Amino acid sequence: MDVVAATATAMDRSSTASFHQRWNTLAQNPWFAFAAILVLQLGIVRFAWQGRDLTSGDTSSYFVTAWDWYARGRVNIAWSPLYTAFYGSMLFITTDPYVATMLHRLIIVCAATLLVLAVMRRLVTANVAWWIAVWWAVLPINFNTLYEVHLFALVPVLVAWLAVLSIPGPWGRGLCLGVLAAAAILVRNELGVACLLFGSACLVYEWRCRRAATAAAIGWRRTLAAYFVPLLASALLTAFFYARSTVRSARLREAMHCKHALNMSQVFAFGYLQRHPDAEQVSPWVEYHQIMEQHFGDHLVTLGQMLARNPRAVWEHFRWNLGLTPNGLQVLLFNATSGAENPDYAPVVTASPAAAMLSGLVAVLWVGGLCVGLRQRGHWWKAWFEPRAMGWCALLAVAAVALVVIPTQRPRPSYLFSLSVPLMAATGACLMVLLAQCRVPRLCSTIAPVAMIACALVTPLAYRGFANAPPRLTQLLQRMEPYAQLLRRPTTVAFHGGFAFEINAYLARGRGPTYWNDLLRAWPPQTPLDKFFEQRGINFVHLNEVSLRQIEQRPGDDGAAFLLGRPVGDWQVLAWQNLPHDRWRVYARPPVVPPVAAPVAAPVAATLDTTEQYRRHQGPSQPGE
């Protein structure tokens, strides 16, 4: 009996030890880690995106090309064709602009977070990798990026890094080079710099392996095949999109020239207005002409032409952008800056004490990790960093693109996602080296899975009160949806008081010329508003609160009928509303008025003007201009 009891006790102890061992290694299990980080990211966006508006600006422009991919299988190879093909593929699931846009945003955010974790697990230890991925996942500058195309551009870069870190030998390096080459043509052209840098590093690495006759060296035919096959696949993918492109040959060269010149004109104008707050403040996106002509003699010039015509102005532009770099890096890593100047185009949190403290903490980690790592460089190089050397080289090659982007554009976080991952990876490596010097109690490894689960479940609650602007564009599109077919007619020339570009893109799918509130500045005195619209060929008018106020501020009664929501001439009133601070009118005139009667409001009661809606009204409207 004593023998049986002793045996049972030993088995219990062995079972308990086995359970503790499995529990302690749970945090390092890839399935557990990826599931936990996905739950965390989905929980964050669930709370942070409640009431989120449809993306305006660049995304609405890409929607037009995305629809072209959905309807005709066509792309514009000059404008991120891989992204627009992906965006357009969402339209096969649903043609609703809001659902398709939010779905493709969600997929991009989750894919980027999972790939960040996958890359980190191959650069640092599993536990450290997970917490670095959490750092990435919780930053609004990442999951709530202004335009989805910028975060999408990081996805192929992460795939390239993962290939070189996961696949040993020249095939991993060849795949990385091939993916970077495809991304440079089909997503972000500046990645061509990274492709050249990493290609040069691969050439040196292969030459050294063959010269040293190391175990890493293989036959030259197999080595060439490892690089040739991925690059050939990249070329074939590019040829496919070129064959489906709406612009080719001379038109493509012209489109690329215009794309670059427009970009440089807009970013220079934005930086100039930021540097000179006393100058006349105009929109750098549509009213850059005067600034560019003043400095360079033309409103659309390339960087080379800018350098040739006014190098002093270009140097001032470069110096200002480089001075904003610390602010941009802080926003990139902490979603706020301790500086006073905004490195982005969209508003960011400035003068943040938290950003200063976090910057100091990261600096301490870097200094401490580098000191310990250099002191023990023999051990760390052989045991950890040498097998991953080409992976780190790939990260540095892509990070070096920032040296071109920052001075020419600005240190905008959305342009530097491929820099934030290497910076986070370097921070994780320093943390890993420092933790190796500490005697981490067994309790820490025991509670690691609990901490990961708690973080995934509790952290999203912090975003419950995440501030979102009212979904004005979404509401506006819902208002204009009944007139979508009318707006898509080739004969329609529209005026929209707010979000004119977005309405034309999401509803009219880019068809026909569209005007917005700026047109009213050209309205001659003593000219009836209906006649002014007719002179411009406009036959569909959507006036919002801002445009109605502009009409009210003019002397005379040239626009009285539009203010009152009454028919004038052959203009028909399709709908109108008189809520305080949220008035609007929809007018149309032949030949665009559809044969079936449109919902026309009675002149004695405004459309949708109910007590309940008035109660829900949240103050003055701020329509997009």
Residue-number span of the structural domain to which 495 is assigned: 472-616
Cα-based torsion angle of the residue sequence 270, 275, 281, 283 in order, rounded to the nearest 10 degrees: 0
Residue 39 maps to a domain: no
CB distance 473 to 56 below 8 Å: yes
Band of residue 27 on the pLDDT scale cut at 50, 70, 90: confident
pLDDT at residue 378 greater than cutoff 60: yes
pLDDT of residue 218: 64
Residue 507 maps to a domain: yes
Average pLDDT over residues 474-479: 91
C-alpha dist (Å) from residue 76 to 70, 246, 247: 13, 5, 6
Share of the chain above pLDDT 70, in %: 88
For 508-540, write each residue's pLDDT tens digit: 998 878 898 888 888 888 889 999 999 999 999
pLDDT of residue 561: 87
Residue 259 maps to a domain: yes
Q: Which residues have CB under 8 Å from 293's CB, separation 6+?
A: 299
Domain boundary among 323, 339, 361: 323
- Give the C-alpha separation, 504 to 512, whole Å: 8
Cite the DSSP H helix spans in 187-248: 191-212, 220-243
Nearest Cα to Cα of residue 223 among 172, 276, 278, 166: 172
pLDDT at residue 620 greater than cutoff 70: no
Average pLDDT over residues 485-492: 90
Band of residue 442 on the pLDDT scale cut at 50, 70, 90: low
User: Which residues on adjacent β-strands are paired with residue 245?
Assistant: 75
Gyration radius of the chain over CA positions = 29
Average pLDDT over residues 244-269: 90
Residue 72 maps to a domain: no
What are the φ/ψ torsions at residue 495 (nearest 5 degrees)? -125, 125
For 85-122, write each residue's pLDDT tens digit: 999 999 999 999 999 999 999 999 999 999 999 999 99
Across all residues in the chain, what is the average pLDDT?
Answer: 86
DSSP state of 597: P
Residue 363 maps to a domain: no
Average pLDDT over residues 314-340: 95
DSSP 35-104: HHHHHHHHHHHHHHTTTPPPP-THHHHHHHHHHHHHHHS-B-TTS-HHHHHHHHHGGGT---HHHHHHHH
Domain boundary among 297, 323, 349: 323
Q: What are the tokens at 116? A: 């960040």
Residue 275 maps to a domain: yes
pLDDT at residue 596 greater than cutoff 50: no
Residue 150 maps to a domain: no
Cα-based torsion angle of the residue sequence 386, 388, 393, 398 in order, rounded to the nearest 10 degrees: -160
Average pLDDT over residues 46-70: 93
Nearest Cα to Cα of residue 578 among 602, 554, 558: 602
Average pLDDT over residues 140-164: 96
How many structural domains compose the chain? 2
- β-strands 494-496, 540-543: how paired? parallel
- Give the C-alpha separation, 292 to 298, whole Å: 6
Query: Could you tell me the pTM of the whole model?
Result: 0.89
Band of residue 445 on the pLDDT scale cut at 50, 70, 90: low
pLDDT of residue 223: 86
DSSP state of 581: T
Q: Which residue has the higher pLDDT, 8 or 409?
A: 409
Backbone torsion region of residue 339, taken as left when φ is above 0, otherwise alpha when ψ lies between -120 and 50, otherwise beta = beta
Q: Name the one residue in this structure whose structure tokens are 């627009």.
A: 84
Buried b (16+ CB within 10 A) or exposed e, 6-43: eeeeeeeeeeeeeeeeeebebbbeeebbbebbbbbbbb
Average pLDDT over residues 592-610: 38
pLDDT of residue 582: 87
pLDDT at residue 24 greater than cutoff 80: no
Domain boundary among 323, 355, 389: 323
How many angstroms separate the most distant Cα atoms in the chain? 113
pLDDT of residue 18: 62
DSSP state of 459: G
Average pLDDT over residues 200-213: 84
pLDDT of residue 557: 80
pLDDT at residue 622 greater than cutoff 80: no
Average pLDDT over residues 489-510: 91
Cα-based torsion angle of the residue sequence 153, 194, 335, 34 in order, rounded to the nearest 10 degrees: 60
Q: Which of 49-58, 265-274, 390-399, 555-564 has the lowest mean pLDDT?
A: 555-564
Residue 238 maps to a domain: no
pLDDT of residue 443: 55
